[in-house]
Structure formats: structure tokens, C-alpha cells
Amino acid sequence: MWQRIKEYFAITKSESRGLVVLFSLIMFLWALNFYLKYYAKAHLASFGYEILKTEQVDILPKTQDPEAEKSYFEIGNFNPNDISYEDLIRSGLSERLSRSIVNYRKKGGKFFTVEELYKIYHMDSAWVRFQSPYLIFDSKSGDYATQQKVKLKPFDPNLADSMEFFSLGFKPWQISNLLRYRSRGGKFFKKEDLRRLYGIDSIFYRTLEPYIQIASDGINKENDENTTVALTDINSADSATLVSIRGIGPTLAHRIIRYRNSLGGFVREEQLLEVYGIDSSRFEWIKPQISLDTSLIRKININTTSEEQLIVHPYISSGLAREIVAFRKNFRLFQSVFEIEKLNLAKNKDLSKLYPYLTTGEN
């Protein structure tokens, strides 16, 4: 019995040499992996090379208590290199760890990746995992502020769009926080309100303060009943005239003109809400300052206009344009604009917005 077992596990000299080579190869690969993972990373970083990683959240240590993440709070995007002690507390991090981060930065320490937060002794891994999607780190190619072209000019934080904020020196994550605050119904009533928004430090605020101009609620409320307010016709105004309207900057003026051209003119003031960048809050500021001359509307002759030209209009889909052309080609010319209701793609649809732009060519 023992002899049989011995014969079963017996190996030749060539097989034993193969096992030695295989074991040596395994040890070499293990050592190489260790070298690349630790030594090479530090060595390359010292020469200014940046090692990129994807899906950082998945490689973070997992918390032992998943329920712990429920005690943390989303405070928006933030940089762990400049976030204040109070905001760290507000995010759900303990006082001890918040103090440790601040002390680490005071001693010259800096974080460049999510993993480097674990330099802090007993760092809360659950907090890191929770906040990691919102972490923003400084660029190694230089300070963002020095690369950004800043052009200070008067602005209203309740009305400015993202491009205006960017030109004033706001960082992308600050713009994101500000626009999210406004989208939730937030409003700035005085200059100091901007300072309280997360991410606006005192130095940046002092730079902006002389240029902040917040309009009072209801532009026409300040005027007496006998006062005549000069209104701007948005169907004839050029870009320079539109910019004179409070709440419209150069970028928005360009979008309004481009959309007006594709429409053929505005029939109702509410159509401004279809322009990208104009929400209900901004529209309420703009509305008391504008007027409409509907005689300037450019109409589309559905009996002669080509399919390519029909598609240009925002209210006409490619399918509907194809059916309009097919109807007059295979059946007859339209005798009334309301006949497009007979088309398959127009049935059971509200065409009231489109009718003012259509004509059959008859006077």
C-alpha cells in the first residue's frame, strides 16, 4: 500500500526541474508586481509623472459597517486641500479626523488622489467612499486660477449663466454648486448671500463684491404707474440690444437670436423658455422688459417649401416634413394649414404652436 502511494507521487528529474522553474517564475512575477505597485509608483511620481487610475471608488477599503454611510451628508464638490474645518464636520466627518486633516495641511501636506486621504491616521473609510465622487484635486500642471482668463464685470448671481460665471473666475465645481442652488429655488437677495454659498472663500468674495449687482424683485414695481418703461422688441432686436435687457448676457443673446431665426420669430413671450439657459426664474426677470411685434413673423408656405427647409423649423420633425411633401406631391396642394391634421404624424398632437408659422400661399 505504502509502495503504491510512493510510486503515485514519484516524479522524474526533468519534472522536478520544471517545478523549480515554475516556482521561480511565480516568485519573480510576485516580486515584479510588488515593485510596480509600490516602488515604481513613488519613483515615477517624484519625476512628475502622473499614474492614472479608473474606478477609484471600487479599490477603496470597504467599511465594516455599511449603515455608517447614512450618517454622512453630501455637501457638493469640494477639494480636500482647502475645505474648511466646519465644512468637514458638516459632511459628517468626526471632529478628530477633521482636525487631523486641517493640521496635516498646515504642515505642508497635500492630497493628490483619493487613496492619499488614508495618510490620516484611522481615516474613516466609509466617509471616503461616500464623498469620493465629489472630491476634486488640484491639477499638477499648475493652479487652475492662473490658467483661467478672468474678466471682472458687473453681474447678477441670480441671472448669470455658466459662461458668465466662468469668465468671472468661478471654478467649474463652484458654478455647479451655484446653479444647483438656484435650480432648487435658492435666490440671492443681497451681496453677502453669495459669500455663504459653499465653495466661495472670503478672498474670492472680496474680489467679486464690487461687481455684484442684485436686482430687486419685480423690475416694474419700482416704477410709478405713470412711468413709461421702454420695452425691447425681441423679434427685431440685435445682439447688442438684447444684452441691454437685465438678465441677458452676450452668450444668451446669441442663443435667442439663433433660435429666433430658426423659428421665424417669436409669437409668444413664453417661447423664450425654449431657449437653452432661460428657466422660469430668469424669464420672470426678462418678461417685464420685452415686447413682441408679431408682424415680423416669417411664415412657411407648406405648398412650396422643400423638405430640407421644413426640417429646420423646431416644431417640424423630419417625419412630418416628409409627410407634408408627400401629401402635396401624391394627392393635392393644401387648401388650409389645418389640413396637416390629416397626416399620420400630426394626428392627436397639439399643433397650436405651429399654426402661426404656416401659410398655404393665399392672401
The confidence score (pLDDT) of residue 69 equals 53
DSSP state letter for 54: S
Angle at 246 between CA 245 and CA 252, to 5 degrees: 70
Those residues with Cβ within 8 angstroms of residue 149's Cβ, 6 or more apart along the chain or in another chain: 167
Q: Average pLDDT for residues 138-149, to the nearest whole number? A: 45
Residue 354: how many CA atoms within 13 Å on its side-chain side?
22
Q: What is the mean pLDDT of the chain?
A: 78
Q: Determine contact, residues 160/147, Cβ cutoff 8 Å.
A: no
The confidence score (pLDDT) of residue 50 equals 42
The confidence score (pLDDT) of residue 62 equals 47
The confidence score (pLDDT) of residue 59 equals 40
- Highest-confidence segment of 29-43, 48-62, 243-257: 243-257
Is the pLDDT assigned to residue 162 strictly greater than 80? no
Is the pLDDT assigned to residue 235 strictly greater than 60? yes
Cα separation of 179 and 124, whole Å? 30
Cα separation of 280 and 183, whole Å? 10
Angle at 256 between CA 241 and CA 267, to 5 degrees: 100
| Helix (H/G/I), strand (E/B), else coil: 78 | strand
CA nearest to 337, candidates 357, 318, 311, 317: 357
Share of the chain above pLDDT 70, in %: 78
Q: Average pLDDT for residues 213-241, to the nearest whole number? A: 68
The confidence score (pLDDT) of residue 97 equals 92
Identify the residue with better confidence: 38 or 18: 18
- Highest-confidence segment of 19-33, 50-64, 127-141, 287-301: 287-301
Contacts 24+ apart (CB under 8 A), 158-163: 158/182, 158/187, 158/188, 158/214, 158/215, 158/281, 158/285, 159/215, 159/246, 159/247, 159/282, 159/285, 160/249, 161/249, 161/251, 161/252, 161/277, 163/249, 163/251
Q: Average pLDDT for residues 229-234, to the nearest whole number? A: 81
DSSP state letter for 169: T
pTM check: above 0.75: no
Share of the chain above pLDDT 90, in %: 18
Cα separation of 289 and 219, whole Å? 8
Cα distances (angstroms) measured from residue 298 to each of 100, 168, 235, 265, 267:
66, 38, 10, 7, 10
Q: Determine contact, residues 110/136, Cβ cutoff 8 Å.
A: no
Those residues with Cβ within 8 angstroms of residue 39's Cβ, 6 or more apart along the chain or in another chain: none
Lowest mean pLDDT among 31-45, 123-137, 175-189, 288-302: 31-45
